[in-house]
């Protein structure tokens, strides 16, 4: 799937409000500690990866290394989630294959 943007969450800034998941649930999900992280859903990318810092299949690094691709069909809602976030912790950047390759997921 083609994608123009990728996203990550700065957990130091996350307030735990969860509005991101309300707006764009296919890109954002809650972590056990009450903070939110990004994810890639299987229906968009073939396998589900949650960038929550946990070990094992289906998990990847969190923070700045935990970048997720944003499906083109969800670009508008992901940007809206970033704009509405009270912690201003959602970082949306142009797609960078090197960043995707280095995330280790």
Mean pLDDT of 26-38: 94
**Structure confidence at residue 105 (pLDDT):** 56
46, pLDDT greater than 60 = yes
73, pLDDT greater than 60 = yes
Task: Give me the number of domains the chain comprises.
Answer: 1
43, pLDDT greater than 80 = yes
Rounded Cα–Cα distance for residues 12 and 87 (Å): 9
Paired strand residues for 9? 90
Domain region containing 64 = 5-102
Mean pLDDT of 18-27: 97
| Residue 6 in tokens | 């990728």
Residue 67 belongs to domain with CATH number: 3.30.70.20
Q: What value does the mean pLDDT of the chain take?
A: 93
76 conformational bin, left if phi > 0, alpha if psi -120 to 50, beta if neither: alpha
- Pairing mode, if any, of strands 28-30 and 68-70? unpaired
Rounded Cα–Cα distance for residues 62 and 11 (Å): 8
């Amino acid at each position: 799937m083609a994608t123009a943007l990728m996203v990550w969450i700065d957990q130091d800034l996350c307030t735990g409000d969860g509005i991101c998941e309300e707006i764009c649930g296919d890109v954002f999900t809650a972590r056990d500690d009450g903070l939110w992280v990004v994810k890639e859903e299987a229906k968009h990318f073939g396998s589900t990866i949650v960038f929550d810092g946990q070990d094992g299949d289906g998990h990847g690094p969190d923070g700045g290394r935990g970048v997720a691709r944003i499906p083109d069909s969800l670009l508008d809602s992901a940007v809206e989630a970033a704009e509405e976030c009270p912690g201003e912790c959602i970082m949306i950047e142009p797609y960078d294959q090197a960043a995707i390759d280095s995330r280790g997921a």
